[in-house]
Amino acid sequence: MTTQTISPPELSTLQIDIDGEIGTLTLNRPDAFNAMSPEMIFDLGTAFAWLADQAPLRALIITGAGKAFCSGGDINGFKDGVEDDSIDLPAQVRRGAEALHVAIVDLRRIPYPVICAVNGPAAGAGFSLALACDIRIASETAFLACAYGRIGASPDGGMTYFLPRVVGPSRALEILLEDPNMTAKDALEEGLVSSVVAADELMDAAQAKAAQLAEMAPHYVKMAKRLCGVSIENSMTEHLQLERHGIADSMATEDLREGAIAFFSGDKPVFRGR
């Protein structure tokens, strides 16, 4: 039987590398501090849909090329609209935000752990993208900033959805209104990142975390992500029904049988995603 190789999509502003069952998606506009151009937003939509539906992976790392993670939306993309009254800037930005938000929804559909390796500044939509990931590890050289208010723009990219869920609604609003440049240490104290490492150790730390999480049973990981993701919106009875079906479905997996046998024998289970 021939095993089919599933290749990543061709992208102009992103790079996807696959090493075994671990993938790395790199924002690749280093000369622009990985700002989100219309092309990058389109590429993010393509990449996240592929990563959610087709990629043969069990963990993903997202990082940036060069000195920045992502400096936010590329303000040059709507410079003409600010200066030229004949351009319908609200409509232009509305379309761009819709494309970005479709990409974020697909990012959240990815059924395996997504680790953000914040290698430098993450501002505006770049901060939103980091928040949309499951786990964040920061380089000592990283900083995070909401940044939207500095040009009078309303937040997007899921920032006001994810930030309150990470730090609480009151603290999230305070961060949005005060809009500090948060160092990696500040972000760690706020609980925005789980660890801070030296710049030259960042990818090793992210890969070690990815390798650790990739060993877990995929059904367990998928359901843990799904259940935690909707727990705030659901009533207790709705949520308990989801848990009920999730654990029942896990009983039909080979991984469950492997885990149970290993538990009784004192061995370490090897989960294969079946």
**pLDDT, tens digit, for every residue of 35-82?**
999 999 999 999 999 999 999 999 999 999 999 999 998 877 666 667
Whether the pLDDT of residue 138 is over 60: the answer is yes
pLDDT at 256: 67
How far is the C-alpha of 66 from the C-alpha of 28, rounded, in Å? 8
Number of Cα atoms under 13 Å in the Cβ half of residue 272: 5
161-170 tens-digit pLDDT: 999 999 999 9
Write the CB contacts of 141 (distance below 8 Å, at least 6 apart in sequence): 67, 119, 120, 184, 199
- Sheet holding 195-197: strands in order across? 14-19, 22-27, 59-64, 114-118, 135-139, 195-197
Q: Both tokens of residue 182?
A: 């948060």
pLDDT higher for 152 or 195? 195
Please give the full DSSP string across 137-164, using - where no structure is assigned.
Answer: EEETT-EEE--GGGGTPPP-TTHHHHHH
Model confidence band, residue 213 (pLDDT cutoffs 50, 70, 90): very high
Tell me the average pLDDT across 245-256. Answer: 77
User: How much of the chain exceeds pLDDT 70, in percent?
Assistant: 96
Tokens read off for 245: 């079906």
pLDDT at 257 over 70: yes
Kindly report which listed range (83-97, 127-141, 222-236) carries the lowest average pLDDT score: 83-97
Answer yes or no: is pLDDT of 255 > 90: no
Domain spanning 14-214: CATH superfamily: 2-enoyl-CoA Hydratase; Chain A, domain 1 (3.90.226.10)
Mean pLDDT, rounded, of the chain:
91
Q: What is the pLDDT averaged over residues 21-42?
A: 96
Q: Where are the chain's structural domains?
A: 14-214, 218-265
Mean pLDDT computed over 76-103: 82
**pTM confidence score:** 0.91
